[in-house]
Structure 1
Amino acid sequence: MYGIKNCDTIKKAQKFLINHQIDFEFIDFRDNPIDKTKLQTFVDKLTLEKLINKRSTTYRNLNDKEKDNITLELVLKNPTLIKRPVLVTNNDIMVGFSKKSYSKLC
């Protein structure tokens, strides 16, 4: 699971996984920045559009030109643009948290 530790959605997702006894590793974007190869893997599976959190403060603080041209480099510089959590499983990559989608892991 990728995200940032103080994110409420991360906390909900972690609680769900713990309560359902599903093992996971948490990787904080701020402590362990994501590399370009890993980010490209997420984009290839999900698309950049689905990966970007347009409700985040980071996104709202971008200028119009940046908002219209989000690149991997921009996301690497501003990892909080990534919607959280990003959960990588053996078969899939899920972004965001919903009990319905996470229930499929049980």
Structure 2
Amino acid sequence: MTIILHGIRNCDTVRRARAWLDAHGLPHGFHDFKTQGVDEAQLRRWCRAAGWETLLNRAGTTFRKLPEAEREGLDEDRAVAVMLAHPSAIKRPVVETGETVLVGFRPEAYERAFG
């Protein structure tokens, strides 16, 4: 099983997820979507798997600082546009295994997926 962890290198939640994977002996790749970007097809795949409402980090500073017009009346297409323009608005981390997409870090969810 190939595990790719997507996130931002200096994010504390990403660090905790990486530490959990390391502690459980699960090799994984890392994709920093702040520096390496994220493409629309990938965002759409994550939205299908987890839902755009889960993927969009509305509680984060990046989203809260957006103009009100960008934050209101969101649907999947508008949310994807926001996340493409502002990758920091993507909830972190996003972990892909090929068949599974996990958004955020909850040890119990990782245990179910990888345990």
TM-score range with shorter-chain normalisation? over 0.9
Cα offset, 1:90, TM superposition: 2.9
In 2, the alpha carbon distance for the partners of 1:71 and 1:92 equals 21
Indicate the SS of the match to 1:23: coil
- The residue that corresponds to 1:71 in the other structure is 79
State percent identity of aligned pairs.
32
Distance (Å, rounded) in 2 between the aligned partners of 1:3 and 1:72:
16
| TM-score where L is the length of structure 1 | 0.94
Between the aligned partners of 2:56 and 2:82, the Cα distance in structure 1 is: 11
2:107 alignment partner in structure 1: 99
For the aligned residue pairs, the C-alpha RMSD in angstroms reads 1.0
Shift of 1:22: 0.5
Q: Which amino acid aligns with 2:79?
A: T
Q: Among residues 75, 82, 89, which one is paired with 2:90 in the alignment?
A: 82
What TM-score, normalized by structure 2, do the two folds share?
0.87
Counterpart of 2:22 (choices 9, 18, 25) is 18
3-state DSSP of counterpart to 1:26 = strand
Number of aligned residues: 106
What per-residue deviation string (whole Å, max 9, x for no partner) do you get for residues 39-97 of structure 1?
Answer: 11011111111101111110110122211134322210101111000000132100000
- Pick which of 70-79 and 3-12 moved more: 70-79
After TM superposition, list the pairs within 5 Å mapping 1:53-68 onto structure 2.
Answer: 53-68=57-72
- Give the whole-Å Cα distance in 1 for the aligned partners of 2:89 and 2:106: 19
The residue type paired with residue 4 of structure 1 is: I
Which blocks of at least 5 consecutive residues in structure 2 are unaligned? none
After TM superposition, which residue ranges in structure 1, 4 or more long, deviate above 6 angstroms?
none
Once residues 28 and 74 of structure 1 are traced to their aligned partners in structure 2, the CA distance between those partners, rounded to angstroms, is: 18
CA distance in 2, matches of 1:26, 1:89: 12
Match of 1:7 in 2: 11
Partners of 2:58 and 2:34 in 1: CA distance: 19
